[in-house]
Chains A and B, each alone.
Chain A
Amino acid sequence: MTKTILLDRLNKHALTKRVLLTMKLTWMIVMIMCMQVSATSFAQQKISITAKQVSIKALLKTIENQTEYRFVYSNNALANDKKISVNIHEVSLDEAMRTLLKETGLTYTLKESNLVVIYANKKSGKDVVVSGKVTDEDGLALPGVSVKVSGLSVASTTDGSGAFSIRVPDNSASLEFTSIGYIKQTIPITGSFMNIVLKADNRDLQEVVVTGYTTYKKSQSASASTLVTAEKINDVAGLTFDQILQGRVPGMSVISSSGQPGQSASTVIRGIGSVNGSSTPLYILDGTPIEGGYFQTINPEDVENVTVLKDASAKALYGSRGSNGVIIITSKKGKAGKVQVQYSSQYGFSNLTEGKTTMMNTAQRLQFEEGVGVDFKRTIGPGWTYSPKNPTYINGTAAFRQRADQILDSLRNINIDWRDQIYQNSKFQEQQASVSGGNENIRYYNSLNYYKQDGIAKRTGLERYSLKSNVDFKDNKFSGNVNITIGYSNSSFTEGEGGTGAGTAMSAAYYALPYENPYAPDGTLIHQGNKANYFILDQREGSQALERLQNSSNKTNQLKSVIGTSLAYQILPELKITTRAGIDYRNTTDQAFINPDSYYGSRSVANTLGGKGRFDEGTRRNFNIISTTGLTYAKTFNEKHDFEASAFYEYVYNNYNEFNYTGFGIDGRLPETPAGIINSAAFLPIVGGAKTTSALASFMGVARYTYNEKYTFTGSYRYDGSTKVAPQNKWHGFYSFGANWNAKKEDFLKDLSLIADLNFRSSYGTTASPLSGNYNYLATYAVNTSYNGIAGSRPVSPGNPDYDWEYVNEFNVGFDLSLFRSSRLRLAADYYDKKTSNMFFDQPLSALSGFSSLALSTGKMQNRGIEFDISGDIIKTSDFTWTLGVNAGYNKNKILHLTDAADQLLDGDTRVFKVGLPYGSYYAPNWAGVDPQTGDAQYYNPDGSITTTYNATTQSVAESGSLYPKFTGGFNTSLSYRGISATALFSFVSGVKRWNNEDFYNENQRYATSNQSLRMLEDRWMKPGDVKTLQRFDVPRNFTSRDIEDASFLRLRNLNIGYSIPKNVLDKIGLIKTMKLFVQGQNLFTWTKWRGMDPENNSVYGRFQYPNARTYTAGLSANF
């Protein structure tokens, strides 16, 4: 390898030689860049020489023999190679070179890969030494920053404390400071000591696309992906990390499934691609796949960035698991330098985001009851029973009338807003401490987090402890890392969320009558069990819910750990072997308890067998292990041909175990423990559980070729073998192709300063969606039935012998454009067309078959859409910055084929699958309003005529829209002025319809003994000529298009105002390096037409789901 390049700098005629040399140098440098890992430990090489009257050339040879330094110089420079004497021992290169070149008028510069270039120093003898210190914006020292004299090759780096020292010719104008992750700074030399502050550069991250198997420069990647960086994820209060991504990624819809603290959202990338399979993206945390839907214990504060992979060229690397998109989460890593201690803390509170439905208050309710009594002689409450208009009153005795008046008077004095009984203003706090640091070879990041969030529904909350430890190490050709995430969470849930049944907390907030005072004057809760002792005129629906709420508990604790380790070894400069193993382990314990000493627990019903409470406990253990081993070959040929290829073998194994039991006959002195259970025939306990395993083995290859930094072609192939599909379909291949054109490198754009960057990308490939069950293809029998206490068996599933993957073919084309100097305006846009074939449809079967459906793999569905992301720095001065960003995705979903037998199938009782329509289309008779003359409810027949006869079978049409949003996105803005910053995020979901099933109960004569919406009093037909929303009271209420409401919304998702305390103030205090104070709010405003509790919910119906909270917090973050 020893190589000395002779350089004839001064020979002007040797032009060809110069060109040749330049080319060779460039080639070497590019080569070196590909060998990042091996170029590590040169700084440590020490030089010892003792020589008398030896030529400099010979001395350089000696150094080359001792170390890995290689010298490049012109023969002319050392033409009069004079002999010198040296005696140095264990010195650095710099010292050795100064000694050697002391009287030569030459200087040197150290390039990457130990290359030392020696050249004439024209201004020899007039060098000055400039020293200084480089820090980041928080004032923390930055080691390893490259310091270079502008226009020259003189360079140095900062040490562990950020200090540097460089010899510069005295006429040099400025120094350049560069470091990965920071914006390059060019500073004029002002004196012999300089303090430099480098600003973090997130655009640097934007330049790289990480897929988990490859890391390509954005200009060389065919992939459509979006990066969300730490400052958008950290510090957001009260949301899991997936919820935080709402409104951040174009084409990714994130919709909450419940306001329960810690509950994961429903995340869908580029439209739902499966009806009966899974549509959950694949989540990868530091290289280890983690389960979707279990993010309670994942601490968003530890997240450095999230990359969302959306197109086939990236997803196909994940083969049969990739079609729903891949979300790559990278946690924080330590930075070389002094130990950094960071502490942040925030406190706050949450309250209810009100829905649009107003329920009646006491006065309104009594008026309503009386009105119904007068018009329909129906008694729905004391408002009519004791009404002066009631014949019983008119014909009653004076004593009765006096008593009736008293009763109504006392009822009028009660006016309970039941929301106050069910909901609460809840507290929030979070504490985070982290310690990070390291040197060039080992870097570490450790954090501890405590998080406590009470829910806005009483009895709910989440408490979390989490720990994170990342260690990255490298030594010459060897590198690796270990990532450990451990979290423990405790969640508590409310009673009967998301149901319309009476007696549950969420529905009681609506159903309970306003004159239902839950408590007697002595504070006793009056419920169904003891109400006989009191004079009660209401339904006690609210008190029943309270009684249940107060005498039961429902808790889950979860221990989750994600442990991953990866190792890489650079065998040859162009060949690297990597191996990675990861474990995702979750143990969940669910516990439910009903107090035996309560009314709720004392009834001898199936739920509380024997009438002495109930205790349930169950554990669910999920264990997932992944191992990936592979080779990466990367080499650039002839400068222009940049080639990289990898081959991997991967094995994923999943093991799931579940065990649960239910005990009855609880001793009230031993609550919430199995010790309180009585085991006897009268209190027969129930035992259950499940076990299953699955595995996936894959062989894969991926390659990229870039020509002249302009044209990139990528391709991948993955061969997956799975236990989840029918044996004959076990193995299947998935492929992708992609191309990127880096147009900025073309001659016609190279010098155009308006366009800073321009890339066009396109890709096509196949993937599949992960299967939800493990052995869905099998016809099965189970023994979970019995008659007369004797066990029986029954067929469970008819099976699907052709069961195969649901294949997704996806095409993507897009571009990235940056405009103006320093890329002030950035735009990325993509178009995609995604087709799912082989899609599972449950072909409904005739009841005669004994099964409700037969799984078939015959469906086809298409998702097409466009998405864009624009961000720009509108104002950017040294003091004031204003940025604005908008991102949105429009998706059009269409069912292309159902089964060979049908092009329309019912989907539950309110939706339909129909070829040509989007998945999730509601199916209901069209509402034709209320007949102003009769007050009858009117419906449209399919022929357009209007009728008062309701017939769901013949009248239903799919014209009400679909449950899955068409248009989602967000816009964000941030302002910063000196130390003050403000950021806001709005998110929106549009083109989405949901079935509001709450109105069906709140505006229905059938349930009029419970409280009703104010519209039942004010907007109901009463007399001919009334033009009202609601029909005559006695007309049955039926499910129609009126119940399908627009659930689009725009939400001020997050508003954060922060203030960084000036450094001079902190310096006076000492100890604290930086400190930032902030206040923020989540879900502050919502604009929607939806009448139910919260438009943001992924359920097909609105049925008193737990609404999302509005949260306010204040906090501080400090570095020590």
Chain B
Amino acid sequence: MIKNIYKKYTVIFSLLIVSASCTKLDMKPTDTIDPGKAFRNIGDINMGLIGAYALLDNTMIINNSIVSDEAMLPTENTVSNTDAYRWIYTGSSGSVTALYSTYYTAIDRINRTLAGMDLLTLTGADVAVSDQYRGELLALRAFMHFELLRAYAASYQNGALGVTYLNKSTFDFLARDNFETTVSGAKADLTAAKSLIPASFTDKSRITRIAVSAIQARLALYEKNWADAITYSTEVITALPLATRAQFPAIWTDASETEIAWKAKRVATDSRTGDVYFRQSGGIVLYAPSFKLINTFDKVNDVRYPAYIKFDATRTGTKSQYLVNKYAGTTSVPGLADIKLFRTGEMYLIRAEAKAESTGDGAADLNALRAARITGYSNAVFADKDALITAIYTERFKELTFEGHRFFDLRRRNLPVQRLPEDAINASGAVTLLPTKAQYTFPLPAQELAINKNAVQNPNY
């Protein structure tokens, strides 16, 4: 009997051991890509680059409109968070702080892609292609830092708080660089990029060699490096002449790419650029062109006016009859419009300003631009440098409106934001924003300051 029991036990335990050996614990994830497989070849590098381009959006455009004097809040907009428009934003206001993390995310993607690229051994045709990608990555990294600098630098002066320039992916809690350090980081990347991107590469949805020149020109303007500004803007002007008055409207319907150096292409699945000005749902004008802006235009002769501003007499009551037309899109896909990042019009204004500040003959570029936009324009003469600079500023206001420049242009020269009373009817008293106010610079996100003990907030917040 005892033996029997042992036999039974033996059988049972061996059965148990057999069943235990069906342990299967070697499963692999099916729906994710691990870092080892992220950058296997040159095609994967392009995907990483595309992932960075994907973060380009219209935030800079709408933020400039809302906080400056180029747009007004119509009474019909009862749906928006209007803190930014009323200049009461703080580090907790997502509208003005979101860009900070978005663009650093793009920079991280670029740095990871560059690191992935360094590990590849490339041969044959891939080598040339990789040079182009590396050039694009470096230029895009410079551009993203420059955009962050425009938005979050305490001011555009040497010694002022700039933004941290990142050449590699990091989890460290880093301090802010000074303005000039950010600028020199961007300049170095742009210089390197320019030698890598072949002249034959002309896809305007991405960064071409001419686009690098355009970025360099704008950077030089903010740096007040007038010589560089003239050099680089001239490179663009030479390569991409101004659109004619006949060609001009087609730029804004995306039918033409004349004088465009680089634009963020929008496709059907993207969020629509124009939605920030006009909400399709309910047909609400969220932000309308300011009367201040409308008043500066020669409505009859200026080809820019109908391209930029739409008048709709059928809108009555408290509805705004003026609408932003720059990103109206098509009737089938309203609001879907490419984001024009760099174009020759801006280059003329950069060169005019640089020349006015340095060699003093900026009027020619200003007149050339006006002549290309206004029917029957005759060249103007300017009394002195100040008059010329004022005229260039007004022209920038008109030419580059709703393209993300106005607020930063005012900041470049420490000028207040000054709204007309008719533009401030819903502003709860937000008529003048003086440079001494905290809101004259965008705040860093409160979250960043809470997490990163080395980060410093902009003054007065």
Bound Cα distance A692, B28 (Å): 9
* Residue of B with least CB distance to A798: B171
Which residues of chain B come closer than 8 Å to A778, judged between CB atoms?
29, 32, 34
Which residues of chain B come closer than 8 Å to A577, judged between CB atoms?
12
| Other-chain residue from A379, A684, A779, A906 in contact with B268 (beta carbon distance below 8 A) | A684
**Number of contact residues on B: which range applies?**
35 or more
* Residue of B with least CB distance to A577: B12
Q: Are B54 and A846 in contact (CB under 8 A)?
A: no
| 7 A-B pairs with C-beta separation under 8 A | A697-B25, A780-B33, A787-B51, A787-B265, A846-B172, A849-B104, A1006-B82
Bound Cα distance A577, B88 (Å): 73
B35 smallest CB distance to A (angstroms): 5
| Other-chain residue from A572, A629, A682 in contact with B5 (beta carbon distance below 8 A) | A572
Q: Which of A74-82, A107-115, A164-172, A603-611 contacts B (4 or more CB under 8 A)?
A: A603-611
Q: Mark B187-210, 1 if CB is under 8 A from A, else 0.
A: 000000000000000000100000
Report B's interface with A, CB cutoff 8 A. 5, 8-9, 12, 15-16, 19-20, 22-27, 29-35, 37-38, 44, 47-54, 56, 75, 78-79, 81-83, 88, 90-92, 100-101, 104-105, 107-109, 112, 164, 166, 169-174, 205, 265, 267-269, 271-272, 280-283, 318, 332-334, 428, 445-452, 455, 461
**A528 and B27 in contact (CB under 8 A), knowing A791-B50, A1010-B78?**
no
B208 smallest CB distance to A (angstroms): 14
Q: Are B29 and A788 in contact (CB under 8 A)?
A: no
Which residues of chain B come closer than 8 Å to A796, judged between CB atoms?
32
Which 6 A-B pairs give the minimum distances between C-beta atoms? A850-B108, A792-B50, A792-B51, A847-B101, A780-B32, A788-B265
Q: Are B32 and A846 in contact (CB under 8 A)?
A: no
Q: Are A539 and B92 in contact (CB under 8 A)?
A: no
| Other-chain residue from A692, A780, A848, A1007 in contact with B104 (beta carbon distance below 8 A) | A848
Q: Are A849 and B47 in contact (CB under 8 A)?
A: no
Which residues of chain A come closer than 8 Å to B22, judged between CB atoms?
651
Q: Are B78 and A1009 in contact (CB under 8 A)?
A: yes
Which residues of chain B come closer than 8 Å to A631, judged between CB atoms?
12, 16
Which residues of chain A come closer than 8 Å to B91, judged between CB atoms?
953
Does A690 have its Cβ within 8 Å of any Cβ on chain B? Answer: yes
Q: Are A775 and B29 in contact (CB under 8 A)?
A: yes
Does A151 have its Cβ within 8 Å of any Cβ on chain B? Answer: no
**Number of contact residues on A: which range applies?**
35 or more
* Residue of A with least CB distance to B77: A1009
Q: Mark A692-710, 1 if CB is under 8 A from B, else 0.
A: 1111010100000000000
**A794 and B100 in contact (CB under 8 A), knowing A775-B32, A781-B38?**
no
Within 8 A of B (CB), among A631-654: 631, 647, 649, 651, 653
Q: Are A909 and B92 in contact (CB under 8 A)?
A: yes
* Residue of B with least CB distance to A631: B12
| Other-chain residue from B23, B26, B38, B104 in contact with A793 (beta carbon distance below 8 A) | B38
A1017 smallest CB distance to B (angstroms): 19
Q: Are B35 and A781 in contact (CB under 8 A)?
A: yes
Does A544 have its Cβ within 8 Å of any Cβ on chain B? Answer: yes
**A723 and B27 in contact (CB under 8 A), knowing A539-B78, A849-B170?**
yes
A337 smallest CB distance to B (angstroms): 36
**A783 and B47 in contact (CB under 8 A), knowing A850-B107, A951-B90?**
yes
Bound Cα distance A179, B35 (Å): 66
Q: Are A847 and B267 in contact (CB under 8 A)?
A: no
Q: Are B283 and A528 in contact (CB under 8 A)?
A: yes
Bound Cα distance A676, B55 (Å): 35
| Other-chain residue from B32, B50, B170, B332 in contact with A787 (beta carbon distance below 8 A) | B50
Bound Cα distance A780, B107 (Å): 17
* Residue of A with least CB distance to B38: A781
Within 8 A of B (CB), among A766-794: 774-775, 778-783, 785-794
Which residues of chain A come closer than 8 Å to B269, judged between CB atoms?
606, 684, 786, 789
| Other-chain residue from A780, A781, A953 in contact with B446 (beta carbon distance below 8 A) | A953
Which residues of chain A come closer than 8 Å to B83, judged between CB atoms?
1036
Does A143 have its Cβ within 8 Å of any Cβ on chain B? Answer: no
Q: Are A571 and B8 in contact (CB under 8 A)?
A: yes
* Besides A780-B34, A905-B451, 16 new A-B residue pairs in contact (Cβ under 8 A), listed by A number: A503-B281, A575-B8, A604-B332, A604-B333, A647-B16, A651-B23, A695-B27, A697-B20, A723-B26, A847-B448, A848-B107, A848-B164, A848-B174, A849-B171, A850-B112, A851-B105
Which residues of chain B come closer than 8 Å to A605, judged between CB atoms?
272, 280-281
Q: Are A847 and B100 in contact (CB under 8 A)?
A: yes
Does A601 have its Cβ within 8 Å of any Cβ on chain B? Answer: no
A566 smallest CB distance to B (angstroms): 15
| Other-chain residue from A609, A690, A845 in contact with B451 (beta carbon distance below 8 A) | A845
Report A's interface with B, CB cutoff 8 A. 379, 502-503, 528, 539-540, 544, 571-572, 575, 577, 603-606, 609-610, 627, 629-631, 647, 649, 651, 653, 682, 684, 690-695, 697, 699, 721-723, 730, 774-775, 778-783, 785-796, 798-799, 844-852, 854, 905-906, 909, 951-953, 1006-1007, 1009-1010, 1034, 1036
Which residues of chain A come closer than 8 Å to B19, judged between CB atoms?
627, 629, 649
* Residue of A with least CB distance to B265: A788
Q: Are B25 and A723 in contact (CB under 8 A)?
A: yes
Q: Are B54 and A694 in contact (CB under 8 A)?
A: no
B40 smallest CB distance to A (angstroms): 11
Bound Cα distance A846, B44 (Å): 27
Bound Cα distance A796, B48 (Å): 12
Bound Cα distance A629, B15 (Å): 10
B449 smallest CB distance to A (angstroms): 7
* Residue of B with least CB distance to A901: B173
| Other-chain residue from B9, B16, B33, B171 in contact with A629 (beta carbon distance below 8 A) | B16
**A794 and B51 in contact (CB under 8 A), knowing A694-B27, A781-B38, A848-B104?**
yes
Which residues of chain A come closer than 8 Å to B34, judged between CB atoms?
778-781
Which residues of chain B come closer than 8 Å to A502, judged between CB atoms?
79
Q: Are A572 and B48 in contact (CB under 8 A)?
A: no
* Residue of B with least CB distance to A721: B25
Bound Cα distance A1009, B265 (Å): 37
* Residue of A with least CB distance to B48: A793
Most chain A CB within 10 A, of B78, B173, B272, B318, is at B78
Bound Cα distance A699, B17 (Å): 11
**A1007 and B53 in contact (CB under 8 A), knowing A609-B268, A730-B25, A789-B267?**
no
Bound Cα distance A695, B170 (Å): 34
Which residues of chain A come closer than 8 Å to B35, judged between CB atoms?
779-781, 795, 799
A510 smallest CB distance to B (angstroms): 15
Bound Cα distance A780, B265 (Å): 27
Which residues of chain B come closer than 8 Å to A790, judged between CB atoms?
50
A722 smallest CB distance to B (angstroms): 7
* Residue of A with least CB distance to B450: A906
Q: Are A851 and B108 in contact (CB under 8 A)?
A: yes
Which residues of chain A come closer than 8 Å to B205, judged between CB atoms?
787-788
Bound Cα distance A730, B23 (Å): 13
**A1034 and B33 in contact (CB under 8 A), knowing A528-B282, A721-B23, A850-B109?**
no
Q: Are A792 and B47 in contact (CB under 8 A)?
A: yes
Q: Are A782 and B32 in contact (CB under 8 A)?
A: yes
**A786 and B29 in contact (CB under 8 A), knowing A603-B281, A845-B171, A952-B92?**
no
Which residues of chain B come closer than 8 Å to A786, judged between CB atoms?
50, 54, 269
Bound Cα distance A723, B451 (Å): 33
Most chain B CB within 10 A, of A379, A603, A789, is at A789
Bound Cα distance A951, B89 (Å): 10
* Residue of B with least CB distance to A653: B24
Bound Cα distance A793, B271 (Å): 19
Which residues of chain B come closer than 8 Å to A1007, judged between CB atoms?
78
Q: Are B23 and A787 in contact (CB under 8 A)?
A: no
Bound Cα distance A540, B171 (Å): 49
Bound Cα distance A651, B19 (Å): 10
B29 smallest CB distance to A (angstroms): 4
Bound Cα distance A337, B396 (Å): 95
Bound Cα distance A544, B284 (Å): 14
Q: Are B282 and A953 in contact (CB under 8 A)?
A: no
Q: Are B166 and A848 in contact (CB under 8 A)?
A: yes
* Residue of B with least CB distance to A845: B171
